[in-house]
Structures are given as structure tokens and as C-alpha cells.
Amino acid sequence: MKRGLLLVFGIYLGIMFVSFASASCNLEVSMINQDPYPAVPGDYVKLVFQIKGVENVECGKVAFSLLEKYPISFDPGVDSTTQISAGTSLKDYQSFLMVPYKVRVDKNALNGDNPIEVSFSNSIGNKTYQTKQFDLNVEDVRADFEIFVKNYDYTTNIMTFEVLNIADSDIKALTLEIPKQKEIIVKGADKNILGDLDSNEYTTADFEAVPQNGNIKAIIYYTDKTGTRRTLTKSVSFDSSYFKGRKADVKTTSKWVYVLSTALILFIIYYIYRRIKKKKGKRRL
């Protein structure tokens, strides 16, 4: 009977010891950085997590993982789990562990806060994983443009391009380049700095050029709201028939030219008439 009581008491103490040790290992996880903010669908984002409590040797071996779920994914071969023995001296003698990740955001991720999940555990007693959710802020800050040939003046060889920002985001430092190609020969600078351009606004760029009918390659450079420099290549259709034979291109003569011409002709006729009349008068004398 005593042995049975001692066995039960020993088991009870063991459970109490494990429970006490587990309670004394308190891991606190927080996400302290997201770069860029907001993240852009289809692009990479850097995340940094901070784990407090790893200095406590009673935590044993600590494991931390960022779970690969929508809207994030890892590159092939990347290990999403970090393990450390609690109480190990950390860099700069810090009492917390910093875990960085570089993941790709799903191209179809929705704008706004998207939940991501981490799991972490210690090796005390029955190894159980805890999970915690954080918000990944996503916004499609990439711009898109429509670009057309607005005008071509055959007297000056000036081609005017019109660029329209059709995205929801404002952009900065817009630059238009017309690279070397057989469809158009640019005279002078092949780049035109256009400046900032708000959503649903347009601007124009002039180039001196000799184009051919067909598609002209244009390169657009801009800076999005996260400060990332981006590049887009566009194809611009050019048909010379739209810019020939226009009334605006026909040189018209001012009405004053006709008035002055008529007056000059009348004066010449009058002058000749007077000369002839004078000659006839002299002959009679």
C-alpha cells in the first residue's frame, strides 16, 4: 500500500515539475519589420520576427517556423524552420532571437492585411507547438500605362507621345525612352524625363524622330510608392496616314494678303492709265 502511494506521489511530483518548468518557459513572438511596406503581389518581401524568452535554459531546444501558406511561399530549398538551444549566448548578448525571412507574395494576394502564421515550441515535457498569426500588409502599387502617338509634324519631325497612368497608384520620376530600333530613328536625346504622374492623369513627351509605319518600342521607368524603381516596355502603333493631309497642316493665306494684292493691282492699273493719259495729252499739244 505504501509503495502504491509513493508511486502515485512520485508521478504527481513529476507532473508538477514538468508543469512548473513549462510555465517557466514563456516564449513571446512578435513581427518587428516588413520590407517593403506594403508588400507587392508577385514580389519578394522581407520579414523579421523577434522571439523573447530564449535566454531561459529551462526552455530546452526552441524551434520556430514561418508556415508556408497563402499568401506567401518560399523559394525551393529554403528551410523555414530555425532551431536554437535555449540559454545559448546570442549575438551582441541579446536576450531575444531575431529570425529573418525572404518570401514571395502570391501574385493574386488581395490588397489590405493578409494573415500569415508562425509556429514555435520548446522541448520541455510533451513537445507541443503554439501558433500565432500576424498581418502582412499588401497593396498592388505597380502602375500601368497607355501610350499613344498624339501627333507627328512632318515639317519639324517632332513626334508627340501621350502617356496615361491607368493604375490606382500615383507614381514618381516618370521617364520615357525610345530605344534604337528600325521602326524609328530618334534625333537627339532618346529619353525624356516627365516627372510625377498621378493616377488617371496624363502627360506628353516630344522627340525629334523619323518614324516608319508599324509598332514602336517604348520603355517606361517610374518609382512606385514603396520607393522601388520599376520598368515597363510598351508597343506603340504608328500609322502615318493619320498625320497627312490634315486641314491643320494646310497653310492658309491671310485675307490681308488678298486685300493688299488687290490694292496693288488697282494702283498699277491706275498708274498705267495715268501715264497713258499724260502721253495722249502731250501729243495733242
Report the 10 Å Cβ neighbour count for 89. Answer: 8
Q: Where in the chain is the domain with CATH 2.60.40.10?
A: 2-138
Report the 10 Å Cβ neighbour count for 66. Answer: 21
> Lowest mean pLDDT: which of 65-74, 150-159, 183-192, 237-246?
237-246
pLDDT band at residue 252 using 50, 70 and 90 as cut-offs = low
Q: Where in the chain is the domain with CATH 2.60.40.1230?
A: 145-248
Does residue 23 have a pLDDT over 70?
no
Give the burial class of 139: count Cβ atoms within 10 A of its Cβ; 0-12 exposed, 13-18 middle, 19 or more buried: buried
What number is the average pLDDT over the span 39-45? 95
Give the chain's radius of gyration (CA, Å): 40
Does residue 1 have a pLDDT over 50?
no
241 vs 257: which has the higher pLDDT: 241
What number is the average pLDDT over the span 79-98? 78
Q: Which CATH superfamily is domain 145-248 in?
A: Gamma-adaptin ear (GAE) domain (2.60.40.1230)
What integer best gives the mean pLDDT of the chain?
86
pLDDT tens-digit readout, 112-150: 999 999 999 988 766 678 999 999 999 998 999 999 999
pLDDT band at residue 256 using 50, 70 and 90 as cut-offs = confident
Q: Which stretches does DSSP call E strand in the chain?
A: 28-35, 44-52, 61-66, 72-73, 81-85, 96-105, 112-121, 130-138, 145-153, 158-165, 171-177, 184-187, 191-197, 202-211, 214-223, 229-238
Torsions phi, psi for 205 (to 5 deg) = -140, 135
What integer pLDDT is reported at residue 134 of this predicted model?
Answer: 98
What integer pLDDT is reported at residue 285 of this predicted model?
Answer: 55
pLDDT band at residue 253 using 50, 70 and 90 as cut-offs = low
pLDDT band at residue 90 using 50, 70 and 90 as cut-offs = low
* Predicted TM-score (pTM) of this structure: 0.67
Which cell is 236 given?
506603340
What integer pLDDT is reported at residue 251 of this predicted model?
Answer: 60
Which cell is 135 given?
498581418
Per the CB < 8 A criterion, the answer to whether 99 and 108 are in contact is no
Q: How far apart are CA 233 and CA 217, in angstroms?
A: 7
> Lowest mean pLDDT: which of 3-17, 214-228, 234-248?
3-17
Does residue 241 have a pLDDT over 60?
yes
Which cell is 222 given?
517610374
What integer pLDDT is reported at residue 18 of this predicted model?
Answer: 41
Q: What percent of the chain has pLDDT over 70?
A: 82
Q: How far apart are CA 185 and CA 192, in angstroms?
A: 15
Top CATH class of 2-138 equals mainly beta
Task: Tell me which range, 10-24, 172-186, 263-277, is most confidently predicted by mean pLDDT.
Answer: 172-186
**What are the b/e assignments for 250-279, b being 16+ CB within 10 Å?**
eeeeeeeeeeeeeeeeeeeeeeeeeeeeee
From residue 179, alpha-carbon distances to 36, 173, 219 in Å are: 31, 19, 8
From residue 31, alpha-carbon distances to 99, 100, 203 in Å are: 9, 10, 41
